[in-house]
Amino acid sequence: MSSRFFYQRLVQTVLTLVLLSMVVFGLARLSGDPVLIMAPPEATEAQLEEMRADYGLDRPLPVQYWRFISRVAQGDFGMSIKWNVPAVDIVIERFPATLLLATTSMIFGLLLALPVGIISAVKRDTWVDNFGKIVALTGQSMPTFWFGILLILVFAVYARMLPTSGYGTVYHLILPSITLGGFVAASIMRVTRSAMLDALESDYIRTARSKGVPEWRVIMVHAFKNGAIPILTITALQAATILRGAVVTETVFVWPGIGKIAVDAVYARDFPLVQASVLAMGGVFLVINLLVDFIYVYLDPRISYLKK
Amino acid sequence: MNLKSIRSSRLLEWRVAVPGFFLLTILFCALFADFIAPYHPTKQNLSMFLTPPNGDYWLGTDAFGRDILTRILYGGRVSLLVGMSSVALAMVIGVLLGITSAMMEGWVGEAIMRLTDLFLSLPAVLIALAVAATIGPSLLNVIFIIGLLYWAPFARMVRAEALSIRELDYVQAAYAIGCNPFRVLFLHILPNIINTVIVLATLQIAAAILLESTLSFLGVGVPPPTPTWGIMVADGRQYVELGWWTVTFPGMAIMLTVLSINLLGDALRDFLDPKFSRR
């Protein structure tokens, strides 16, 4: 990997993060006067002025942004207005729940997407392939919240097999994982299919077949290994996408992760918490994308991002 | 024309005709909901609350006794209007920024690309939710929020296309004989991008409708009493144990609409933009 590419991508990511922090900063200012939300209703105008001065809100915007960003760099987003503890602590506390859900969803998504994608490629243009295509497109067209509610309806309300929502046991994890896993499975399935199609058409596959390698070995070893790079890439990218899906899924299933806390914070106008959670989610997404690019170049040295 | 290509062109006609017909039906129903809807969309009739689907109420009624079919017909208005107008806004912004960044290399182009990366990396649902909750939910705000969040894919694609077309011989030739850059842009580059833009716009409308319904579901979309599919699902969710029809049918309306647009987009891609066709 050329070091120039490495540094270029690194600088790009840092720049994007800075821009994201500006958006997050602007978001809170868009709401009007944060002091009016924080102050007790009986506060006088003089007290409000004093609070504004305390928070530095009477200073010019660039100065305010600088104060904001230098605190954020030290992990200080301020106190959550609703919970009255540091916003960062809440985000850190809630992150494992989201990580757990994201992991099980990804496992479920892969278990669904990889076999279907491979079979679709092997049985190209048969009813299996077409069926897989229709399922993937339908899945991509379903609103996540509706799919989640339908699962609750079928498995919790009628079949009474699983809890409707909440957190705690393995059973609570199943329905949200299916919802979120289905959300990412469709793209992984499509990429797996086309990667496998590319691989299966290559010369080395013809060679393998002609020297009598069993067909399952041709597919699972020779073709899959060579198709693995795009599949790995889309899987890693979808791992980042899961964070977006988590916002809605966690709300539907009342899953106490970072997505749910962010939505609650928006409703409560708890801006420090909104800022911390949006920046955390965006940051994780950017870092994953950066790592994907590095891994991609490492795995396939033919790719050069510099040559454009 | 050999047999195979005749068959595939027939197939393509079907692939445009079926989702196209369905979408036209939804559009027709939404436009003329006043005339074809069997009941009033917002008038409550508490004596008929949560009636299962029957001969009078084909898709049942909600917790306020309002006919679900009627509300689905009206709800199509919001989804289609928001989907199309927000993507139109996104398309204008994205194409302009994409072209600008391709034509102006150096720090302007680089800055636009960083901005594009930023918007591609934003958690869209969360930002839309935060902004909508802050500036207050309304039809116009929802359109602007989605439009301002969804321009980035256009910018990225237009830039990539413009950069590659710029290197083609005929464009270089046009430069060589002294064409003005704007002439090259409008006569040689833009016409070659337009098909790809149309395909992307179709697929983005599907995504915009999904985002609109999600915002409605979360309570920051077009405010009640205007019926939207997302609000109908959110309302029905509270009574899901008493009536499955309250959530099932509005969600199905969203899914079928988005699915038709996606199918149409895929077919358009194969038709207008063969080099990107998925196999």
Burial B126-156 (b: 16+ CB within 10 A, else e): bbbbbbbbbeebebebbbbbbbbbbbbbbbb
Token pair of B84, please? 């199309």
As beta bridge partners, residue B61 has B67
| Residues 6+ away with beta carbon under 8 Å from A222 | A199, A204, A205, A208, A213
* pLDDT at site B279: 43
B87, B208 Cβ separation under 8 angstroms: yes
Cβ within 8 Å, pair B122-A267: no
**Across A11-15, A241-245, B116-120, B232-236, which has the greatest mean pLDDT?**
B232-236
Residue numbers in A near B240 (CB within 8 A): 149, 152-153, 157
* pLDDT at site B114: 83
Residue numbers in A near B125 (CB within 8 A): 244, 247-248
Residue numbers in A near B244 (CB within 8 A): 153
What's the ipTM? 0.86
Query: Which of B139, B123, B167, B192 lies closest to A266 in space, CA to CA?
Result: B123
For residue range B212-261, what is the model confidence (pLDDT) as tens digits? 999 999 888 888 888 999 999 998 888 888 888 889 999 999 999 999 99
Choose the mutation target among A146, A164, A187, A266 for the interface with B, i.e. most B CBs under 10 Å.
A146
**pTM of the entire structure?**
0.86
For residue range B134-158, what is the model confidence (pLDDT) as tens digits? 788 889 999 999 999 999 999 999 9
* pLDDT at site B44: 81
Angstrom distances, CA of residue A226 to CA of A198, A232, A301: 9, 11, 14
Cβ within 8 Å, pair B279-A150: no
Query: pLDDT tier at B78 (50, 70, 90 boundaries)?
Result: very high
More confident residue, A201 or B84: B84
For residue range A247-257, what is the model confidence (pLDDT) as tens digits? 899 999 999 98
